[in-house]
Structure 1
Amino acid sequence: MSSLYPSLRSAVTDVVNDVSSGRFTSISPPFPSALTPIPRDQLVDRLQSVWSSLSANGDAQQSSSSRHVDLLRSTLELVGKDVVIQPIVSGELEPQPDASDEQTCRFQTALQDRLDIILTLYEVAAESLSGVQALEPGAIFIPLLEELVELIPVETWRDLWAYVETRAKRFTKDMPASRGKALPLLRIINSFLRFLPRTPEDLIFRGRVHQFASSVISVADKSAINMRGDYNDIKTTWDESDTSQSSTLNASAEKEEDGDVKMQSDVKEEVKASTETEFYSTLWSLQHYFAYPPSLDGPAVQSNPGEPARTPFETFKAKTEFVLPKLFEQTQKEKEMMGKDAEVISRKRKRSEGQSDASARGFFHPRFLTGKRLFDHELTDSSFRRQILVQYFILFQFLLNLTPSTAAKQAFTGGMPKTFIVDQENEDWIKSKVAEIKEELRKMIPDGPMFEETVLSIITRERYYAQWKNDSCPEGVFEVPPLDKAVAKKAAEQWRKRSAPPSQYPYKLGSRSLSRLWNRGFTGIDQLKGWRSPATAVSLDEEIKRIEADDEDDKAMGKEPSAEEAALNKDRKTRLTWRGLRQASRTDLRHFSALAQKRDLHILVDLVNEQNERMAVATATDANEATEVGTDDEAVDVKVGSSEPPGMVMEVESKVKLESEPQAADP
C-alpha cells in the first residue's frame, strides 16, 4: 500500500502531461467560451490501463479489504489534490482576474482537463471495487470542487460553473438527501450565491445556479429548510425620542415658566408635532416584532408611570391600533388629491415609466431609510405603506398557526414557546385586522386588486409550506399518481381522432350551390332560380313614398301607429335610404354634394329626374334642328338642278348657310 500513492500519482501525472501537450494548440482564435471536453472513452482506456497495472502489483487489490478502504480513499483524494489543487497553489496554473481571452482559455482548458482526468479515475476505481460506498465518485470529487472554488477568483466562476453543469450527471448519480455528498454540493452552491455580485449582469448566472440546485437536490431535502425557526439578524435602528407628554395641553392656552401664554395655534402645532414624532417612533418600533416574533411573548410590564402593566402582545396591539389608521389616511389623501381619475392617472404613469425604462420590468425591493426627515416622503410612497402591510400579513399568518386548534399540530413554532397561545379574543382581533389590510391593499394605487391577489396567493402557499414542514416534509406530497389505464386509453383515442388527417372537402368550387350549378352545366344567369334584377334608387324611393303615404292615410283617418310600428317603419325607411344611396353612388355620385345637410333619397332622386328631363328636352331640340336642316338641304339641291340663273342659286346657298350657322347672342 505504501507504493500505491507515488505510483498512482506518477501515472496520472504522465496522463495529464500527455493530454495537455497538444491540447491547447488545437484551439485557435477566436477563443471559444465553451470548451470541448476530452472524449470520456479515451480517458477511460488510459486510466483503466493505469489502474489495472497497479492492481496487478497487488497494491490496489490489497486495499480493497474493508480495513484499507479509508486508506485507499485518502490516496485518491491526495492524488486529486496534487493534480488539481497543487498546481494552482504553486503557480503552475495561475488564474488572473484581468487576463486576456487567450490566457483565460488556456487556464480553463488545463483546469477542466485535469478535473476530467481525476473524475474518470474515481469512476474507474469505483467500478473495479464495486459495492464500496466510500469510493463513490461524487463523494470524493465534490469536496475537491469545494476546495477549488475558494482558490480561483470570482471572474472565473462562470466557466467553472459551466463545467459543473455539464458533468453533474456523473458525480450526482444516486445522491442521497441531506447527507453524504449532498452537503458539500449544497455548500458549493451557497458559496456561488454568497460571493457573486448583485449586478444585473449576474442575474442570469444566479438563475442558472438556482436551476441547477433544483434539478440535483430533491424538493424534500431538509438541508435547506429552516426547521429551527431562525430569523433574519438584520436590525432596524431609528431615532429614539420621548413621546410621552408631561402635562395635558389645554384647548385654549398654556402657561410657560416665564408666565407667557401660548396661543391656541401654537398649542395645536405642538400637539401635531408630538403626534408625528410618536407615529414615527411607533411605526419603526414595529420592526422589532416583525423581525423577531418571539418578542411578543413575555410577562406584563409597566412601561410608563401611571399606566397599567401590559404584556408585549398587548403593547403590539395598541401600537397596531395607532399605526394602521394613520397608514389608511395616507391612501385616502392620495385618492383625494388625484380626484376621480386616480386609476387612470396611475395607469398612465405606469405606462410612461415602463416606456422610459423598458429593461426594468421586474420588482424593485428597496431597503427604506429610517431618518426623520425622510419619514413624510416615505409615507407618501405607496410601496412603503405596502411593505408595512405585507409585514403585518406575514406576522398575522404566523400567529394564526398558534391558536388552540392548531398549536398542538405545530411541530416547529419558530422559536415561540409552547406556552404562547393566541386565545379566541386575540384570534378574532387578528382576523379583523387581516380583513382591514386586505381592503386597504385593494384601494391602494396603482394595481391595488392585482397586488392584493398576488400577496394572498403567496401567503396561502406559505401556509401550505409551513404545514408541509410540520409534517416532516413528506416527499409523497409532490408525487403525481399515474393515470388509470382506461383514462389513458380514452385520451389516446381522442387524440388519435383529432390528429387524423381531415376528410376531403366535398365541394370543389367552394360551396354546394356553386358545385351544383357547375355540374348541371351553368351557361347563363337566367338559370338561377328566383333571379331578378337589383332594385334601383328610383324604385327604392317609390317604396319609401308608399310607406310615407300609408302613414299619412292612417293619420288622416285618426289612426295613430303604435311605438313599435313607428320604429319598424323608421327602420325600413332607413334601410331603403341606405340601399338607394349605395345604388346611386355608382351612377349619380356628382349629385351627392346636395346631401351634405341631410341624407334624403327624395332629394337625390329629384335631382336625377330633373337632369334626365333636361337631357330629354335637349335631345328633342337637337333632333328637331337636325330635321329642319335636312329639309333645307334637299330644297337647295333641287334648286341647284333647276334652270335658274347662277346668281339666284348662289344667293340661295348663302342664305341657307347663314340660317344653319349658330347666331351670336345680342349684346
Structure 2
Amino acid sequence: MADTTLSFNHIFSKVQSTLPGCIKSENASPITDIFNSKIPETTKHCVEVAVRNYVTKKIINGEKTKLDAIRAVTLICIELVRNELSLPTLPVQVLGDSFDALTIDQCEELFTFVESNVSIWKEDTFFSPCKTSVLRMCNDLLRRLSRSQNTVFCGRILLFLARFFPFSERSGLNLISEFNLENVTTFTNVEQDPEEMEEETKEKEGGGISLDYTLYTKFWSLQDFFRNPPQCFQKAPWKMFTVYCGDVLEAFKSFKLDNVQSRSTTAAQISRTLSTDPTAQENPKSEPQDQYFAKYLTNQKLLDLQFSDANFRRYVLLQILTLTQYLTSDIRFKTETLSEDQLTWVKKTEELVFSLLAETPPDGVAFVGTVKHILKRELMWSDWKNNGCPDIKGPSDDTDKNQNSKKDDWDSKSAMKKRGKKRLGEIVREADSKKKFSMGNAEMTRLWNLHQNNLEACKLPERDFVPALETYFNPAIEQLGGKSDTKEQDKLVNDSNFGWRGLRLLANRSPHFFTHSASPIATLPEYLTTMIKKLAKELPSQLSDDMKAEEEDDKEDEKVILEQNDGVKDEEESMEVDGGEDRPDVRAINEEEQKALAKNLVKLGGDKWKALAKKLGFQDDEIEYMESEKNKKGTPEGAAVYMFHLWVENEGEEANKDNLLYTLGGLKMTEIADGVFT
C-alpha cells in the first residue's frame, strides 16, 4: 500500500501507469489499492488531473479514437467517486473533454453512453455537483451542431436534459414567457418578371388556383406573427394577420391534395435512388419514410410544390392553432386580451383549420384527434407554470395509512388490499368456493361463467343458428316463381354469398345435395336454380302457379327443340337426349305409376320395400330418412311412394319401366308391376 502523503508527481505517474490495466479489465481496484485510507481534497485533485491527462493524451487520437476506452474510463471514474477517491465531477469532465476533441459522428455515438446512464447522473452523489457540468457539456455540443443538418442529435440532447433535470428546474421553464425573436424568416421582396409569370400561368392551366406573388408575400409574412404573437394584440397588426390568415386558409381550401400519394411515392423513389444506403437501392418497393425539415426554403418558385406537400400544410396549420391558443388562453405574464369580435374570429378560424387538417391525407381525422389532445395537455402545462411550477410528486399513501390505523385486526384480507393485488392461489381458491372458473382475464372469466355446464350450454336451442330450408330459400323461390320484378342479374341465385351459404345449408338439411346426378353442372346459379325447384316441389305451398306454368313451358320448349334437332346430332348426343333409336318409348315412371307400385309393394307386407330400396341404390341412412317420412305421413305406403319419387329424381329417364322390371325380377317381386304398366 502506498502512503496518502505521496507527492503529486508520484500519484500522477502511479495512476497513469495503472489505468491501462484497469481499462482492459474495466475494474477500478488497482487504483483503489494505491491508497490505504481516505485521501484529502488535494490528493483527489491529483487523481483527477492524472485521469483527464491520460484521456486527452493517450486515448483521444482523432478519428482513430477508441470510444470503448472512453466508456471504460468513465465507468472507472464512477467507481473512484463512490470509493471517495475522486471528486464527483470527474466522470462528467472526462466526457466533456472527449466531446470537445471528437468529431460530430463520434460525439453522436458516444452520447448514447451518456443517455443510457442517465440514472447514474441523477443519483444524489452526482446530481448536485455535476448538474452544472452536464448542462455546460450539452450546451457546448449544441453550439457545434447545425439545427438543420443535425436535427435528430439536437433533439436527443434536449430530451436527455429533460430526463436529467426535474420538471421544476428553473433553467428550462421560460417562466416569463419570452419568445425567440431572433428566428426571422426571410423571403423574396421582388416580384417576378411578368414574362416569367405568363409562362408559369400557361404551364399551370387547368392545374388549380394561381399562387401569385401577393399570396406568396402574405403566406410568408405570417411567420412574423408566429415568431412574435403579442403583436396581434395591436390594432394594425391584428387586421393584417386576419386578412393574411384568411387568404392563406382560403388558398388551402381551394388547393385540394388529390395527388399527394403519387407525388410522395415519386419523391420517395427519387430519394432512394440518390441514397447511398444499399438496402434502399435493393428494395425500391419498400414503404417511403416520412422526412422532417426543420426549416423550409422560401423561394417563390417552390410555393406550388410546398402547397402540394401534406406535411408542409400540417406544419402551417399547426402554427395557426398554436398562435390562436396562445391568444385565447390565460397566461400569467400576458396582460392583453381579445375583444368579443376577435374571439369570434378565432373560434371560426380554429374550426376551419381543424376541417382542413381532417381533409389532409393521410389519416386526417386521426391526426385531428391527436392534435386536440396535445393542445389540451398544453393548457394543463400552462396552468402549471401559472402556479409557479410546483414540484410534481406521486400520489401519497396518507389516506390508506389513516384508514388502516383505525383497524385493530390486520387480517390477510386487509393486508392484501394494502398491497393492492391478490395472490393467484387465493383468486383460484375463492373462485372454486363459488363454483366458478378463474381464467386470468376479466372478459374470459365472464364468458366462461355464463353457464355452470358449458357443454350443455352449447346444446341449447338458442345456440342453433342454422335456419330452416323454407326460411332461407323462400325469397329465392318467390323470385324464380315470378312474384317479384327482380332483374336476372339481381336475383339471389347469382349472389355468391347467398350461394355459398345455400350449399352449406343444403349439405346440412337436404338429402338432394349428396345424390348423384348424370347431368353436368355448368355454374353455381344453374345448380341452385335446380335445387330450389326441387325444394319447391316438396313445399307445394311455396311453389307459385307461375313457376308451374314456367316449368310446363320449359318442357314444351325442350320437346320442340328435340324434334327440331332429331337426326342432326350424332349417335352419342342423340342417346344422351332421347335414349337412342332402339329405345324410342323410354321414359321415367310417372306419379300415378309410382302410387300404384307403392300400393302393390305394401300388399306384400313386411319390409319388402327396404329390400327394393337397396337394389335401387339407396344407402341405409337414406332408407332411415324415408322411414321417418313414412311416420310423418302415417302409412307405410307413404314411404314407398317417397322412395319411388326420389328414385325418379335421382336417375331421371333411367328410372323407367324396363329397369324396374329387371330389378323386380332379380328380387322375384314382379307381381308388384301387374296391372300398372298397361
TM-score class, shorter: 0.5 to 0.7
State the 1:20 CA deviation. 2.1
Question: Which of residues 284, 287, 293 is equivalent to 2:229?
Answer: 293
Answer whether contact 1:138 1:181 (CA < 8 A) is retained.
yes
1:233-272 aligned at under 5 Å gives the runs 233-241=182-190
Amino acid at match of 1:327: F
Partner residue in 2 for 1:81: 49
1:4 and 1:22 map into 2 onto residues whose CA distance is 20
Please say if 1:276 is aligned against 2:212: yes
Partner residue in 2 for 1:320: 245
Amino acid at match of 1:183: T
Please say if 1:436 is aligned against 2:478: no
Structure 1 residues 7 and 234: alpha-carbon distance in aligned structure 2, compared to 1, 3 A threshold: same
Please say if 1:381 is aligned against 2:349: no
State the 1:425 CA deviation. 2.7
Question: Which of residues 33, 53, 65 is equivalent to 1:46?
Answer: 33
Partner residue in 2 for 1:423: 339
Answer whether contact 1:47 1:124 (CA < 8 A) is retained.
no
TM-score with structure 1 length normalisation? 0.55
Partner residue in 2 for 1:397: 325
2:68 and 2:667 map into 1 onto residues whose CA distance is 106
1:27-42 aligned at under 5 Å gives the runs 37-38=26-27, 40=28, 42=29
2:170 and 2:46 map into 1 onto residues whose CA distance is 31
Structure 1 residues 587 and 319: alpha-carbon distance in aligned structure 2, compared to 1, 3 A threshold: closer
Partner residue in 2 for 1:96: 62
Question: Which of residues 479, 484, 496 is equivalent to 2:394?
Answer: 479
Amino acid at match of 2:252: L
Answer whether contact 2:358 2:364 (CA < 8 A) is retained.
yes
Percent identity of paired positions between Structure 1 and Structure 2 = 18
Partner residue in 2 for 1:173: 123
Amino acid at match of 1:288: D
Partner residue in 1 for 2:421: 492
State the 1:451 CA deviation. 1.9
Amino acid at match of 2:103: P
1:367 and 1:389 map into 2 onto residues whose CA distance is 15
Answer whether contact 1:76 1:122 (CA < 8 A) is retained.
no
Please say if 1:607 is aligned against 2:649: yes
RMSD between aligned residues: 5.2
State the 1:395 CA deviation. 0.8
State the 1:393 CA deviation. 0.6
1:143 and 1:481 map into 2 onto residues whose CA distance is 38
Partner residue in 1 for 2:135: 186
Partner residue in 2 for 1:221: 169
State the 1:441 CA deviation. 2.0
Structure 2 unaligned spans of 5+:
193-200, 270-282, 405-413, 438-451, 457-468, 478-501, 538-644, 671-678
Structure 1 residues 363 and 434: alpha-carbon distance in aligned structure 2, compared to 1, 3 A threshold: same
SS of 1:474's equivalent in the other structure is: coil
State the 1:186 CA deviation. 2.5
Amino acid at match of 2:364: G
1:471-550 aligned at under 5 Å gives the runs 471-476=387-392, 479-482=394-397, 484=400, 488-489=417-418, 491-493=420-422, 498=427
TM-score with structure 2 length normalisation? 0.54
1:191-238 CA distance string (max 9 Å, x none): 4566568899996x8787666545432233232223342326332122
State the 1:288 CA deviation. 0.9
Structure 1 residues 116 and 48: alpha-carbon distance in aligned structure 2, compared to 1, 3 A threshold: farther
* Structure index of larger Rg: 1
1:505 and 1:488 map into 2 onto residues whose CA distance is 22
Please say if 1:14 is aligned against 2:14: yes
1:272-300 CA distance string (max 9 Å, x none): 999932221111111111122244355xx
State the 1:394 CA deviation. 0.9
1:251-308 CA distance string (max 9 Å, x none): xxxxxxxxxxxxxx99xx9xx999932221111111111122244355xxxxxxxxxx
Please say if 1:464 is aligned against 2:386: no
Range with bigger deviation, 10-19 or 462-471:
10-19
Please say if 1:146 is aligned against 2:96: yes
Structure 1 residues 180 and 426: alpha-carbon distance in aligned structure 2, compared to 1, 3 A threshold: farther
1:104-146 CA distance string (max 9 Å, x none): 55x743x4555455444444447xxxxxxxx8x4345434432
Structure 1 residues 232 and 148: alpha-carbon distance in aligned structure 2, compared to 1, 3 A threshold: farther
Amino acid at match of 1:37: E
Structure 1 residues 281 and 426: alpha-carbon distance in aligned structure 2, compared to 1, 3 A threshold: same
Partner residue in 1 for 2:550: none
Amino acid at match of 1:598: T
User: Which fold has the larger relative contact order, with Cα–Cα distance below 8 Å and residues 6 or more apart in sequence?
Assistant: 1
Amino acid at match of 2:530: K
Partner residue in 1 for 2:603: none
Structure 1 residues 453 and 124: alpha-carbon distance in aligned structure 2, compared to 1, 3 A threshold: same
Structure 1 residues 202 and 37: alpha-carbon distance in aligned structure 2, compared to 1, 3 A threshold: farther
Structure 1 residues 589 and 44: alpha-carbon distance in aligned structure 2, compared to 1, 3 A threshold: farther
Answer whether contact 1:108 1:159 (CA < 8 A) is retained.
no
1:314 and 1:76 map into 2 onto residues whose CA distance is 65
Structure 1 residues 429 and 219: alpha-carbon distance in aligned structure 2, compared to 1, 3 A threshold: same
1:289-368 aligned at under 5 Å gives the runs 289-296=225-232, 311-331=236-256, 334=257, 358=286, 360-362=288-290, 364-365=292-293, 367-368=295-296
1:201 and 1:242 map into 2 onto residues whose CA distance is 34
Answer whether contact 1:47 1:120 (CA < 8 A) is retained.
no
Question: Which of residues 516, 530, 546 is equivalent to 1:598?
Answer: 530
Partner residue in 2 for 1:553: none
State the 1:475 CA deviation. 1.8
Structure 1 residues 421 and 181: alpha-carbon distance in aligned structure 2, compared to 1, 3 A threshold: same
1:572-587 aligned at under 5 Å gives the runs 578=506, 582-587=510-515
State the 1:608 CA deviation. 2.5
1:464-493 CA distance string (max 9 Å, x none): 2222222221123x5234484679359534
1:27-49 CA distance string (max 9 Å, x none): xxxxxxxxx621x5x25751541
Tell me the matched-pair count.
455
Structure 1 residues 288 and 502: alpha-carbon distance in aligned structure 2, compared to 1, 3 A threshold: same
Structure 1 residues 173 and 612: alpha-carbon distance in aligned structure 2, compared to 1, 3 A threshold: same
Amino acid at match of 1:608: N
SS of 1:394's equivalent in the other structure is: helix
Structure 1 unaligned spans of 5+:
25-35, 61-71, 127-134, 244-264, 299-309, 339-344, 516-539, 549-573, 627-667
1:95 and 1:280 map into 2 onto residues whose CA distance is 51
State the 1:617 CA deviation. 2.1
State the 1:450 CA deviation. 1.6
2:520 and 2:338 map into 1 onto residues whose CA distance is 83
Structure 1 residues 439 and 155: alpha-carbon distance in aligned structure 2, compared to 1, 3 A threshold: closer
1:509-557 CA distance string (max 9 Å, x none): xx98999xxxxxxxxxxxxxxxxxxxxxxxx99xx9xxx9xxxxxxxxx
Partner residue in 2 for 1:617: 661
SS of 2:7's equivalent in the other structure is: helix
Structure 1 residues 424 and 149: alpha-carbon distance in aligned structure 2, compared to 1, 3 A threshold: same
SS of 2:48's equivalent in the other structure is: helix
